[in-house]
Structure 1
């Protein structure tokens, strides 16, 4: 796992811009603490920071090969893992390629030399990379199918900047961070962002499953992968067996590394299945037991308040699951002071407005995991793929023509100052994004009723909430030099389960039936019976009170970049309403983006236009 940056400019000689490239590259130092590399050409500057996972001695970057009639360079900077690199290596060797390292980096480079841009269609993994092909005078940017690894870019006349994180681009004087009023709805609710969209003008993210080509003709983006809807012909027994076979293979593949591995274990269905398979594989290979980790908060015994999304604490279930599986379990218990103290580091890791305590607790959890391992498995995407969230099972929310995951929850954008609210029209902005995604849903001809609607609902979750969760996971883990792998994001698994009818996904009358039926024999009964519980947060009243005091100050602070954006009376009315919804725990949870956006704009010098 690594961090990459780059700069292409056809109007200047970038061989003279090494200091600028070094500044950009060093913004990625937390993502890649083990090594730094740079390469420059007449119009190209590429930088790389490395976190060594496979072939610790080899695999240095930028990786360079030469081809074409004039033996011109092809240069790669790459972040992520291609899990089927060993099979691809064998195929490439049979075609005459020779390798000098054991790394997947060299496989990616050689695959491009053999198959061109279409090489991405052969990769199974999480990745983001850039290839400069001097003979074509073309830059190729690529991102994995689900969008596990990030990759941002800014195109301008004659040139393009790219980086794993926005900070790499913002380190260049060629980019000025500005938020337009039209982007305020997604600034305060990033889950509404369409794929590739950011709140900063001129900053794009390569969309999952897409390639970006940049040449003298400019930038163009196109897909290499999409979900396809097909008739599912397997019966329930075959479907359950296929899910098990697929996921066992996924976990085995994602354990390949030359460094210690571990797993996050909340005691829920998804993480317990994943941990069980990883523990079994490592033990069989003589590398067990698996280290597992969960996070808790001091004071949960007295302060915890159940909600529909977080009905109970994880701790007791995580410990029960670990005893059942035989893993070496670690409870990470956080004090409120720990969470507050880590805010600056977590905000810097996020680059865009953070989630406050939800980011900092994850940052601290990963920091502790990093003391024991360099690779960790996590269960993101299981709920989106198998139908685990409460809103999938609330008919009223499902049937309404809007995003079910937000439902009737209050919108922070409704608290905008009246004139701004009229200009921005946040309800229209939300509905426009809903209709855009709805039009993209790959439909099955002839499918109607609940199955057709649930195909839409699951597509919305894959494109909105999951994207945000994966982004958070990447930022907080890479900030401490930890590679987090997400087995449920394997595209083969997603492609198969996507076409399983909704009634089969609920075959035993419980959420995520396919997972329960596929792995019931290896799980404790308490895990099989447990309701969905989301990532935990602190319920400390003192923390909530501090958040609210900080927000009150921002609303009346004329030096705040958000001064005048919100109507203080509307914010107060929302606070007094005491709304507790499926997604918002309390008023401080709902209003937290005000605090985090203010901190982000000040830290990065972002202006509002």
Structure 2
């Protein structure tokens, strides 16, 4: 777990201005409190921060490989390559000589031995930058599923890059600007992979690498979702999935014997815990962690299910509970917003995980999450609803519209004239058709199987991105490295090409996952329906939101004022019943208004509309 940043310019001696990169790495203090290490040459400065926790490389400094006393390549690295030990042996056998035990050096020497083709040998989650002094070229690489973030801004003769937008925006040559499409992406949480909500910034797309040289910037994929025939029957498929998932879980725990499991008592996290327990060494006790948010949570009965799993597997368990008052702490709320670099309407659904991850991080430095299981195994609540399946729109937006949310979650207090001008419906329609056009099909694909492949692709490439950003960023800010076994690319590739008839073979979502762990979990866990992350209904928290909204309305200089429907916002302040509209949906409108205000203010954002 680390934060990386840097500056390359082919017409400027950036080594003289390394202080600018120090500002970039300082902005990433949440990703690593240790080290502010820089490496510099006339055309490039690479920076890094570290945590001193897992796979630490040179105390938060870039790693350098030299030949005959002269540096040939430098890497700033963030991540966890699960097959690093095996690659190290292969490279040693091939004649490479290692100077330290860091994972970063393994990745760098893999590049020096195999070039950019070496990226395809890496397994796990990673984002890194390599400056190759032999050819004066920068290589930016991001893992296949986009777990680790990496942002960059092209310059006239180079590039700025950083783990998160805040690092790039800390550089004097960058400016926090958001145009109409950026605001549309914020409000809908939908964008093309590789795009950023900030104008002028880009993201290294999942499974891609970016080359920056004197001739310009070139992007190329090294991994993509491809259709392949599925030739195994159901029993063989279950066996294969079991093997792949078991390998994914054990790989995620590799090199970290004290890793924990984030356990909700649902199928996904319980399956992960069961597979981890089945592979544990004799006498090894698995550690599990659950979040609790007090008596005023929504009625999601996690605790009884968690207790069954803990007793069944014999884990060492801890429930981290929080007083709802902690959700109103302005320091905590700001930390959550700046961790994600984006406003969202989810409020305590963001704050509670942050507090939870921070608490877990006091006991273990690595924890496994069941995130992405729904996406990979087809755990879609709407899968049996033809009106959703056949709609020419992202299915989660179709569901939102069925709930009466014309503009999605969190837009209820925005100026209707602004929403009409943004025309989110046209934006989402264009984004949908652009995504569907990316899907490749087998020649004989038709009917429901063809359609479910398309919807699987939408979830893997559009829906999953904000979910992974949520967990990775909040976990890192809480000093906890979260790993995602369900994002193992071999499992993803296999499941992407598994027929929908097999994914739902027993008439339920995630049928294959239930079959894989049928002998490892109690029947009540296997039968438990999907439940959402708990939210608080504490009256004090809701009062805090209304008071905060009132303060924004009373501030003539509030940045969000020009975006709000002032009449609707005042109605919420005056009538406490409105904040409970649709359960927590009315509250989501308030959360979004407040977060937009803080975001515009703290980031000094200039709206270019």
TM-score range, shorter chain: over 0.9
2: distance between equivalents of 1:547 and 1:255?
Answer: 40
Alignment of structure 1 residues 24-103 onto 2, 5 Å: 24-53=24-53, 61-66=61-66, 73-103=72-102
4+ residue segments displaced more than 4 Å = 53-60, 412-416, 569-579
Matched residue, 1:20 = 20
- Deviation sequence 1:216-244 (CA, Å, 0-9, x none): 22222121110111111100000000000
How far residue 497 of structure 1 moved from its aligned partner, in angstroms, is 0.6
How far residue 209 of structure 1 moved from its aligned partner, in angstroms, is 0.4
- Deviation sequence 1:399-453 (CA, Å, 0-9, x none): 1111111211412557653543443221111111111111112222221111111
- Deviation sequence 1:489-523 (CA, Å, 0-9, x none): 00000000111111110111221011111111010
1: distance between equivalents of 2:434 and 2:57?
Answer: 47
Matched residue, 1:229 = 227
2: distance between equivalents of 1:368 and 1:578?
Answer: 29
1: distance between equivalents of 2:361 and 2:380?
Answer: 29
Matched residue, 2:497 = 499
Instruction: Check whether the contact 2:193–2:206 (CA below 8 A) recurs between aligned residues.
Output: yes
Matched residue, 2:139 = 140
Matched residue, 1:451 = 449
The question of 1:351 aligning with 2:333 is answered no
**Structure 1's 114 and 212: CA in aligned 2 closer, same or farther, altered over 3 A?**
same
2: distance between equivalents of 1:176 and 1:321?
Answer: 49
1: distance between equivalents of 2:325 and 2:568?
Answer: 31
Matched residue, 1:179 = 178
2: distance between equivalents of 1:163 and 1:56?
Answer: 18
Matched residue, 2:217 = 219
Partner of 2:397, secondary structure, is coil
> Quick one: which of 325, 342, 357 aligns to 1:366?
357
**Structure 1's 393 and 521: CA in aligned 2 closer, same or farther, altered over 3 A?**
same
How far residue 356 of structure 1 moved from its aligned partner, in angstroms, is 2.2
The question of 1:246 aligning with 2:240 is answered no
Matched residue, 2:288 = 292
Matched residue, 2:187 = 188
Partner of 1:23, secondary structure, is helix
Instruction: Check whether the contact 2:31–2:49 (CA below 8 A) recurs between aligned residues.
Output: yes
How far residue 30 of structure 1 moved from its aligned partner, in angstroms, is 2.6
1: distance between equivalents of 2:436 and 2:210?
Answer: 24
- Deviation sequence 1:520-570 (CA, Å, 0-9, x none): 101011110100112222122332343244345545643122222233356
The question of 1:429 aligning with 2:427 is answered yes
Of 273-282 and 475-484, more deviation after overlay is shown by: 273-282
1: distance between equivalents of 2:79 and 2:579?
Answer: 45
**Structure 1's 189 and 558: CA in aligned 2 closer, same or farther, altered over 3 A?**
farther
TM-score calculated relative to the size of structure 2 = 0.92
- Deviation sequence 1:368-409 (CA, Å, 0-9, x none): 111111110001110001011312332221111111112114
2: distance between equivalents of 1:589 and 1:315?
Answer: 26
Alignment of structure 1 residues 564-575 onto 2, 5 Å: 564-569=562-567
Instruction: Check whether the contact 1:5–1:168 (CA below 8 A) recurs between aligned residues.
Output: yes
1: distance between equivalents of 2:378 and 2:371?
Answer: 12
Instruction: Check whether the contact 2:13–2:43 (CA below 8 A) recurs between aligned residues.
Output: yes
Instruction: Check whether the contact 1:79–1:149 (CA below 8 A) recurs between aligned residues.
Output: yes
- Deviation sequence 1:127-179 (CA, Å, 0-9, x none): 00000011211110000000000001111211211111112112111111011
**Structure 1's 452 and 548: CA in aligned 2 closer, same or farther, altered over 3 A?**
farther
2: distance between equivalents of 1:577 and 1:150?
Answer: 34
Alignment of structure 1 residues 163-562 onto 2, 5 Å: 163-190=162-189, 192-258=190-256, 260-284=258-282, 286=283, 288-300=284-296, 304-305=298-299, 312-341=300-329, 342-354=332-344, 355-407=346-398, 408=401, 409=403, 410=405, 411=407, 412-413=410-411, 416-551=414-549, 553-554=551-552, 557-562=555-560
Instruction: Check whether the contact 1:315–1:331 (CA below 8 A) recurs between aligned residues.
Output: no
Structure 2 runs not aligned, ≥5 long? none
2: distance between equivalents of 1:450 and 1:384?
Answer: 17
2: distance between equivalents of 1:587 and 1:398?
Answer: 27
2: distance between equivalents of 1:135 and 1:57?
Answer: 23
1: distance between equivalents of 2:553 and 2:459?
Answer: 32
**Structure 1's 442 and 57: CA in aligned 2 closer, same or farther, altered over 3 A?**
closer
Matched residue, 1:308 = none
The question of 1:104 aligning with 2:103 is answered yes
Partner of 2:131, secondary structure, is strand
**Structure 1's 124 and 108: CA in aligned 2 closer, same or farther, altered over 3 A?**
same
Instruction: Check whether the contact 2:146–2:205 (CA below 8 A) recurs between aligned residues.
Output: yes
TM-score calculated relative to the size of structure 1 = 0.92
Instruction: Check whether the contact 1:59–1:103 (CA below 8 A) recurs between aligned residues.
Output: no
How far residue 265 of structure 1 moved from its aligned partner, in angstroms, is 0.3
2: distance between equivalents of 1:564 and 1:468?
Answer: 27
Instruction: Check whether the contact 1:82–1:104 (CA below 8 A) recurs between aligned residues.
Output: yes
Instruction: Check whether the contact 1:178–1:606 (CA below 8 A) recurs between aligned residues.
Output: yes
How far residue 33 of structure 1 moved from its aligned partner, in angstroms, is 2.9
Instruction: Check whether the contact 1:392–1:457 (CA below 8 A) recurs between aligned residues.
Output: no
The question of 1:153 aligning with 2:140 is answered no
Instruction: Check whether the contact 2:298–2:534 (CA below 8 A) recurs between aligned residues.
Output: no
Structure 1 runs not aligned, ≥5 long? 306-311
